[in-house]
Chain A
Amino acid sequence: MKKKFQSQKSFTLIEILTVVFLSVIIVAAGYYLYSMSYQSFKKSSASAEVTQNARIALERMTRDIRQAVEIVTVLPETPDSPVSELKFQDGHNLWPGGGGKIQYITYSLSDNNLHRKISHYAFYDVQDDWVLWSTIRGSGSHHEHPTEFFNPSDDVIKAEKITALHFWGENVININLTASDGPNTYHFETKVLGRNVQ
Protein backbone atom coordinates (compact mmCIF):
# COMPACT_ATOMS: atom_id res chain seq x y z
CA MET A 1 0.00 0.00 0.00
CA LYS A 2 2.68 2.35 1.05
CA LYS A 3 4.83 1.38 -1.89
CA LYS A 4 2.03 2.02 -4.35
CA PHE A 5 1.41 5.49 -2.91
CA GLN A 6 5.06 6.43 -3.24
CA SER A 7 5.15 5.31 -6.86
CA GLN A 8 2.44 7.83 -7.86
CA LYS A 9 3.70 10.51 -10.19
CA SER A 10 3.13 14.12 -9.15
CA PHE A 11 4.06 17.63 -10.23
CA THR A 12 7.01 19.26 -8.56
CA LEU A 13 6.59 22.67 -6.96
CA ILE A 14 8.63 24.22 -9.77
CA GLU A 15 6.31 22.74 -12.38
CA ILE A 16 3.21 24.06 -10.61
CA LEU A 17 4.75 27.51 -10.23
CA THR A 18 5.70 27.57 -13.90
CA VAL A 19 2.20 26.59 -14.93
CA VAL A 20 0.66 29.26 -12.71
CA PHE A 21 3.09 31.89 -13.94
CA LEU A 22 2.40 31.10 -17.61
CA SER A 23 -1.36 30.97 -17.01
CA VAL A 24 -1.25 34.40 -15.43
CA ILE A 25 0.64 35.79 -18.41
CA ILE A 26 -1.82 34.28 -20.88
CA VAL A 27 -4.90 35.44 -18.96
CA ALA A 28 -3.41 38.93 -18.59
CA ALA A 29 -2.71 39.11 -22.29
CA GLY A 30 -6.25 37.93 -23.00
CA TYR A 31 -7.72 40.57 -20.72
CA TYR A 32 -5.55 43.27 -22.26
CA LEU A 33 -6.76 42.27 -25.67
CA TYR A 34 -10.38 42.26 -24.54
CA SER A 35 -10.15 45.64 -22.88
CA MET A 36 -8.39 47.09 -25.89
CA SER A 37 -11.12 45.69 -28.18
CA TYR A 38 -13.79 47.25 -26.03
CA GLN A 39 -12.12 50.66 -25.85
CA SER A 40 -11.42 50.62 -29.54
CA PHE A 41 -14.99 49.59 -30.36
CA LYS A 42 -16.42 52.37 -28.18
CA LYS A 43 -14.15 55.00 -29.67
CA SER A 44 -14.73 53.85 -33.24
CA SER A 45 -18.49 53.74 -33.01
CA ALA A 46 -18.68 57.13 -31.33
CA SER A 47 -16.49 58.65 -34.00
CA ALA A 48 -18.34 56.96 -36.86
CA GLU A 49 -21.68 58.07 -35.43
CA VAL A 50 -20.60 61.72 -35.31
CA THR A 51 -19.36 61.57 -38.90
CA GLN A 52 -22.61 59.95 -39.97
CA ASN A 53 -24.70 62.64 -38.29
CA ALA A 54 -22.67 65.42 -39.89
CA ARG A 55 -22.91 63.75 -43.28
CA ILE A 56 -26.69 63.34 -43.02
CA ALA A 57 -27.08 66.95 -41.86
CA LEU A 58 -25.06 68.32 -44.78
CA GLU A 59 -26.72 66.06 -47.33
CA ARG A 60 -30.24 66.98 -46.20
CA MET A 61 -29.49 70.69 -46.20
CA THR A 62 -27.62 70.85 -49.52
CA ARG A 63 -30.33 68.79 -51.24
CA ASP A 64 -33.08 71.15 -50.06
CA ILE A 65 -31.11 74.35 -50.69
CA ARG A 66 -30.23 73.29 -54.27
CA GLN A 67 -33.97 73.14 -55.00
CA ALA A 68 -34.87 76.27 -53.05
CA VAL A 69 -36.91 78.89 -54.90
CA GLU A 70 -36.20 81.81 -52.59
CA ILE A 71 -33.84 82.24 -49.65
CA VAL A 72 -35.82 84.12 -47.00
CA THR A 73 -33.05 84.51 -44.40
CA VAL A 74 -30.77 87.46 -45.09
CA LEU A 75 -27.26 86.04 -45.12
CA PRO A 76 -24.12 88.07 -44.37
CA GLU A 77 -21.50 88.25 -47.12
CA THR A 78 -18.60 87.27 -44.86
CA PRO A 79 -18.13 84.57 -42.20
CA ASP A 80 -17.54 87.17 -39.47
CA SER A 81 -21.15 87.31 -38.31
CA PRO A 82 -22.85 84.18 -39.64
CA VAL A 83 -26.45 83.22 -38.89
CA SER A 84 -27.37 79.87 -37.40
CA GLU A 85 -30.80 79.49 -38.93
CA LEU A 86 -31.81 79.30 -42.58
CA LYS A 87 -35.29 79.67 -44.02
CA PHE A 88 -36.09 79.22 -47.68
CA GLN A 89 -38.98 78.38 -49.97
CA ASP A 90 -39.24 74.65 -50.68
CA GLY A 91 -38.58 73.90 -54.35
CA HIS A 92 -40.07 70.41 -54.26
CA ASN A 93 -43.69 69.65 -55.28
CA LEU A 94 -44.03 73.22 -56.44
CA TRP A 95 -45.22 72.80 -59.99
CA PRO A 96 -48.82 71.83 -60.95
CA GLY A 97 -49.25 68.11 -60.52
CA GLY A 98 -46.86 67.99 -57.60
CA GLY A 99 -49.21 69.72 -55.19
CA GLY A 100 -48.33 73.26 -56.11
CA LYS A 101 -48.31 74.47 -52.51
CA ILE A 102 -46.03 77.28 -51.40
CA GLN A 103 -44.22 76.13 -48.28
CA TYR A 104 -41.04 77.02 -46.41
CA ILE A 105 -38.26 74.96 -44.85
CA THR A 106 -36.31 76.20 -41.83
CA TYR A 107 -33.10 74.54 -40.66
CA SER A 108 -31.99 75.40 -37.13
CA LEU A 109 -30.09 74.01 -34.18
CA SER A 110 -31.59 73.25 -30.78
CA ASP A 111 -29.93 71.21 -28.01
CA ASN A 112 -27.34 69.91 -30.47
CA ASN A 113 -30.08 68.60 -32.74
CA LEU A 114 -30.59 69.75 -36.31
CA HIS A 115 -34.25 70.62 -36.84
CA ARG A 116 -36.02 70.81 -40.19
CA LYS A 117 -39.31 72.65 -39.90
CA ILE A 118 -41.89 72.98 -42.66
CA SER A 119 -44.22 75.98 -42.46
CA HIS A 120 -46.48 78.04 -44.69
CA TYR A 121 -47.94 81.53 -44.77
CA ALA A 122 -51.60 82.46 -45.02
CA PHE A 123 -54.05 85.17 -43.98
CA TYR A 124 -56.28 84.21 -41.06
CA ASP A 125 -59.54 84.50 -42.95
CA VAL A 126 -58.36 82.36 -45.91
CA GLN A 127 -56.13 79.78 -44.29
CA ASP A 128 -56.36 77.28 -47.14
CA ASP A 129 -54.76 79.75 -49.49
CA TRP A 130 -51.00 79.42 -48.93
CA VAL A 131 -49.18 82.54 -50.03
CA LEU A 132 -45.62 83.84 -50.35
CA TRP A 133 -44.16 85.08 -47.07
CA SER A 134 -43.66 88.50 -48.64
CA THR A 135 -47.28 88.90 -49.74
CA ILE A 136 -48.83 92.20 -48.69
CA ARG A 137 -52.61 92.62 -48.67
CA GLY A 138 -54.18 96.03 -48.81
CA SER A 139 -52.18 99.20 -49.03
CA GLY A 140 -51.04 102.20 -47.05
CA SER A 141 -51.90 102.07 -43.35
CA HIS A 142 -54.34 99.19 -43.97
CA HIS A 143 -51.82 96.74 -45.37
CA GLU A 144 -51.29 93.40 -43.66
CA HIS A 145 -48.80 90.55 -43.78
CA PRO A 146 -49.65 86.83 -43.76
CA THR A 147 -49.14 84.71 -40.64
CA GLU A 148 -46.75 81.77 -40.46
CA PHE A 149 -48.43 78.45 -39.66
CA PHE A 150 -46.85 75.12 -38.94
CA ASN A 151 -47.87 71.72 -37.70
CA PRO A 152 -45.71 70.59 -34.73
CA SER A 153 -45.30 67.20 -36.44
CA ASP A 154 -43.59 69.03 -39.31
CA ASP A 155 -40.70 70.04 -37.03
CA VAL A 156 -38.43 67.01 -37.26
CA ILE A 157 -34.95 66.29 -35.91
CA LYS A 158 -32.77 65.23 -38.83
CA ALA A 159 -29.38 64.86 -37.12
CA GLU A 160 -27.92 64.76 -33.61
CA LYS A 161 -24.58 65.70 -32.02
CA ILE A 162 -24.33 68.91 -34.08
CA THR A 163 -22.79 71.54 -31.79
CA ALA A 164 -22.56 74.49 -34.18
CA LEU A 165 -24.16 75.48 -37.45
CA HIS A 166 -23.39 78.61 -39.44
CA PHE A 167 -24.66 79.96 -42.74
CA TRP A 168 -23.16 82.85 -44.69
CA GLY A 169 -22.54 84.09 -48.19
CA GLU A 170 -24.66 85.55 -50.93
CA ASN A 171 -25.58 83.59 -54.06
CA VAL A 172 -23.43 80.59 -53.06
CA ILE A 173 -24.39 79.67 -49.50
CA ASN A 174 -21.61 78.53 -47.17
CA ILE A 175 -22.51 76.00 -44.48
CA ASN A 176 -20.10 75.46 -41.59
CA LEU A 177 -20.96 72.67 -39.21
CA THR A 178 -19.33 71.30 -36.07
CA ALA A 179 -20.14 67.83 -34.76
CA SER A 180 -18.95 66.38 -31.46
CA ASP A 181 -19.09 63.11 -29.55
CA GLY A 182 -17.84 64.72 -26.33
CA PRO A 183 -14.04 64.43 -26.32
CA ASN A 184 -13.70 64.79 -30.09
CA THR A 185 -14.93 67.67 -32.20
CA TYR A 186 -14.95 67.64 -35.99
CA HIS A 187 -15.51 70.46 -38.47
CA PHE A 188 -17.31 70.11 -41.76
CA GLU A 189 -18.04 72.72 -44.38
CA THR A 190 -19.54 72.99 -47.82
CA LYS A 191 -21.02 75.51 -50.24
CA VAL A 192 -24.29 75.25 -52.13
CA LEU A 193 -25.58 77.09 -55.14
CA GLY A 194 -29.36 77.37 -55.12
CA ARG A 195 -29.86 76.48 -58.77
CA ASN A 196 -33.52 77.50 -58.79
CA VAL A 197 -33.28 80.67 -56.73
CA GLN A 198 -35.10 83.41 -58.59
Chain B
Amino acid sequence: MKKHSSFTLIEVLLAVFILEVGLLGIAGFYASSLKIIKTARNETIASNLASGILDEQLAISYDNLEIGQTEKNYTEDISSPFHDWTQKVEIRYVDANLNQQETETHMKKIVVTISWPEVNSQKSFQTASIKAEH
Protein backbone atom coordinates (compact mmCIF):
# COMPACT_ATOMS: atom_id res chain seq x y z
CA MET B 1 0.00 0.00 0.00
CA LYS B 2 1.31 3.37 -1.02
CA LYS B 3 2.11 5.64 1.86
CA HIS B 4 0.20 8.93 1.63
CA SER B 5 0.92 12.10 3.57
CA SER B 6 -1.64 13.41 6.06
CA PHE B 7 -1.92 15.97 8.87
CA THR B 8 -0.92 14.80 12.29
CA LEU B 9 -3.34 15.23 15.17
CA ILE B 10 -1.13 17.96 16.63
CA GLU B 11 -1.23 19.93 13.39
CA VAL B 12 -5.00 19.72 13.17
CA LEU B 13 -5.51 20.69 16.82
CA LEU B 14 -3.15 23.62 16.37
CA ALA B 15 -5.10 24.81 13.32
CA VAL B 16 -8.39 24.62 15.24
CA PHE B 17 -6.84 26.43 18.19
CA ILE B 18 -5.64 29.28 15.96
CA LEU B 19 -9.07 29.49 14.34
CA GLU B 20 -10.73 29.78 17.76
CA VAL B 21 -8.35 32.50 18.87
CA GLY B 22 -9.15 34.39 15.67
CA LEU B 23 -12.90 34.07 16.21
CA LEU B 24 -12.59 35.21 19.83
CA GLY B 25 -10.59 38.17 18.59
CA ILE B 26 -13.45 39.14 16.31
CA ALA B 27 -15.84 38.79 19.26
CA GLY B 28 -13.73 41.42 21.01
CA PHE B 29 -14.74 43.92 18.32
CA TYR B 30 -18.31 43.80 19.58
CA ALA B 31 -17.31 44.71 23.10
CA SER B 32 -15.33 47.65 21.80
CA SER B 33 -18.14 48.74 19.47
CA LEU B 34 -20.53 48.92 22.43
CA LYS B 35 -17.93 50.94 24.32
CA ILE B 36 -17.59 53.34 21.40
CA ILE B 37 -21.37 53.82 21.27
CA LYS B 38 -21.37 54.64 24.97
CA THR B 39 -18.59 57.16 24.47
CA ALA B 40 -20.51 58.71 21.58
CA ARG B 41 -23.61 59.06 23.75
CA ASN B 42 -21.60 60.60 26.57
CA GLU B 43 -20.10 63.08 24.10
CA THR B 44 -23.62 64.09 23.08
CA ILE B 45 -24.63 64.49 26.72
CA ALA B 46 -21.46 66.42 27.51
CA SER B 47 -21.88 68.79 24.57
CA ASN B 48 -25.40 69.62 25.79
CA LEU B 49 -24.23 70.11 29.38
CA ALA B 50 -21.33 72.29 28.19
CA SER B 51 -23.47 74.52 25.98
CA GLY B 52 -25.89 74.82 28.92
CA ILE B 53 -23.12 76.05 31.23
CA LEU B 54 -21.92 78.39 28.47
CA ASP B 55 -25.40 79.89 28.04
CA GLU B 56 -25.58 80.32 31.83
CA GLN B 57 -22.29 82.28 31.68
CA LEU B 58 -23.41 84.32 28.68
CA ALA B 59 -26.47 85.40 30.66
CA ILE B 60 -24.12 87.15 33.10
CA SER B 61 -23.25 90.76 32.26
CA TYR B 62 -19.71 91.48 31.02
CA ASP B 63 -18.69 93.23 34.23
CA ASN B 64 -19.87 90.39 36.43
CA LEU B 65 -17.93 87.69 34.56
CA GLU B 66 -15.03 87.08 36.91
CA ILE B 67 -11.60 86.44 35.41
CA GLY B 68 -10.22 83.12 36.61
CA GLN B 69 -10.98 79.46 36.69
CA THR B 70 -13.56 77.51 38.69
CA GLU B 71 -13.86 73.76 38.78
CA LYS B 72 -16.59 71.86 40.57
CA ASN B 73 -18.97 68.93 40.36
CA TYR B 74 -21.55 69.36 37.64
CA THR B 75 -24.22 68.90 40.30
CA GLU B 76 -24.35 68.35 44.05
CA ASP B 77 -27.44 66.19 43.61
CA ILE B 78 -26.35 62.61 44.36
CA SER B 79 -29.38 61.17 42.54
CA SER B 80 -28.38 62.91 39.32
CA PRO B 81 -26.76 60.67 36.69
CA PHE B 82 -24.15 63.41 36.31
CA HIS B 83 -23.03 63.71 39.95
CA ASP B 84 -19.59 62.29 39.10
CA TRP B 85 -19.19 64.65 36.14
CA THR B 86 -17.22 67.84 36.58
CA GLN B 87 -17.46 71.28 35.02
CA LYS B 88 -14.65 73.76 34.57
CA VAL B 89 -15.22 77.38 33.57
CA GLU B 90 -12.25 79.50 32.58
CA ILE B 91 -12.65 83.21 31.82
CA ARG B 92 -9.76 85.27 30.41
CA TYR B 93 -9.29 88.60 28.68
CA VAL B 94 -8.51 88.18 24.98
CA ASP B 95 -7.40 90.70 22.37
CA ALA B 96 -8.71 91.13 18.82
CA ASN B 97 -6.58 88.19 17.70
CA LEU B 98 -8.05 86.05 20.49
CA ASN B 99 -4.70 85.88 22.28
CA GLN B 100 -4.95 85.71 26.04
CA GLN B 101 -4.15 88.96 27.89
CA GLU B 102 -3.65 89.80 31.56
CA THR B 103 -5.21 93.25 31.41
CA GLU B 104 -8.59 94.63 30.37
CA THR B 105 -9.24 94.22 26.63
CA HIS B 106 -13.03 94.74 26.73
CA MET B 107 -13.44 91.19 25.54
CA LYS B 108 -13.64 88.01 27.60
CA LYS B 109 -13.31 84.45 26.41
CA ILE B 110 -15.31 81.82 28.27
CA VAL B 111 -14.11 78.22 28.00
CA VAL B 112 -16.31 75.47 29.42
CA THR B 113 -14.95 71.95 29.92
CA ILE B 114 -17.08 69.00 30.98
CA SER B 115 -15.24 65.87 32.19
CA TRP B 116 -16.66 62.47 32.95
CA PRO B 117 -15.29 59.05 33.93
CA GLU B 118 -15.43 56.10 31.59
CA VAL B 119 -14.01 52.61 32.03
CA ASN B 120 -10.23 53.05 32.45
CA SER B 121 -10.25 56.65 31.30
CA GLN B 122 -11.42 60.19 31.89
CA LYS B 123 -13.01 61.95 28.92
CA SER B 124 -13.75 65.59 28.38
CA PHE B 125 -15.58 67.96 26.06
CA GLN B 126 -14.79 71.63 25.61
CA THR B 127 -16.67 74.56 24.14
CA ALA B 128 -16.02 78.30 24.17
CA SER B 129 -17.51 81.69 23.42
CA ILE B 130 -16.57 85.37 23.56
CA LYS B 131 -18.37 88.13 25.45
CA ALA B 132 -17.65 91.73 24.53
CA GLU B 133 -18.21 94.83 26.63
CA HIS B 134 -20.83 97.17 25.25
Q: Do A and B come from one complex?
A: yes
What is the distance, in angstroms, from B25's C-beta to the closest C-beta of chain A? 11
Is A54 a contact partner of B51 (Cβ separation < 8 A)?
A: no
Instruction: Across the interface, name the chain A residue whose C-beta is closest to B31.
Output: A40
A132 at interface by CB-CB < 8 Å: no
What band does the interface of chain B fall in when counting residues whose beta carbon is under 8 Å from A? 20 to 34
A106 at interface by CB-CB < 8 Å: no
Partner of B59, one of A47, A58, A171: A171
Task: Pick the most buried of B23, B26, B45, B53: most chain A CB atoms within 10 A of its CB.
Answer: B45
Is B37 a contact partner of A47 (Cβ separation < 8 A)?
A: yes
Interface size on A, residues (CB 8 A): 33
Q: When chains A and B are docked, how far (Å) is the Cα of A80 from the Cα of B18?
A: 59
A55 at interface by CB-CB < 8 Å: yes
Instruction: Across the interface, name the chain B residue whose C-beta is closest to A25.
Output: B16
Given A54-B44, A172-B56, A191-B52, do A26 and B37 touch, yes or no (CB 8 Å)?
no
Is A193 a contact partner of B34 (Cβ separation < 8 A)?
A: no
In the bound complex, residues from chain A placing their C-beta under 8 Å from that of B20 are 25, 29
In the bound complex, residues from chain B placing their C-beta under 8 Å from that of A20 are none
A62 at interface by CB-CB < 8 Å: yes
Is B53 a contact partner of A33 (Cβ separation < 8 A)?
A: no
Is B27 a contact partner of A188 (Cβ separation < 8 A)?
A: no
In the bound complex, residues from chain A placing their C-beta under 8 Å from that of B82 are 187, 189
Is B41 a contact partner of A190 (Cβ separation < 8 A)?
A: no
Is A40 a contact partner of B41 (Cβ separation < 8 A)?
A: no
Residues of B83-125 at the interface with A, using a CB-CB cut-off of 8 Å, are: none
Q: When chains A and B are docked, how far (Å) is the Cα of A190 from the Cα of B81?
A: 14
In the bound complex, residues from chain A placing their C-beta under 8 Å from that of B51 are 62, 190-191
- The 22 sampled A-B contact pairs (Cβ below 8 Å) are A7-B1, A9-B4, A22-B16, A29-B23, A30-B23, A32-B27, A47-B38, A51-B37, A55-B44, A172-B56, A172-B59, A187-B80, A188-B44, A188-B48, A189-B49, A189-B52, A189-B82, A190-B48, A191-B51, A192-B52, A192-B55, A193-B58
Residues of A near any B CB (own CB < 8 A): 7, 9, 18, 22, 25-26, 29-30, 32-33, 36-37, 40, 43-44, 47-48, 51, 54-55, 58, 62, 171-172, 174, 186-193
Contacts A188-B45, A189-B82, A192-B52 supplied; 19 other A-B pairs, CB < 8 Å: A7-B1, A9-B4, A22-B16, A30-B23, A32-B23, A33-B27, A37-B30, A48-B37, A48-B40, A51-B41, A51-B44, A54-B44, A55-B44, A172-B55, A189-B49, A190-B48, A191-B53, A191-B56, A193-B55
Q: Lowest 8 CB-CB distances: which A-B pairs, in order? A: A191-B52, A190-B48, A190-B52, A40-B30, A193-B55, A51-B41, A193-B59, A187-B81
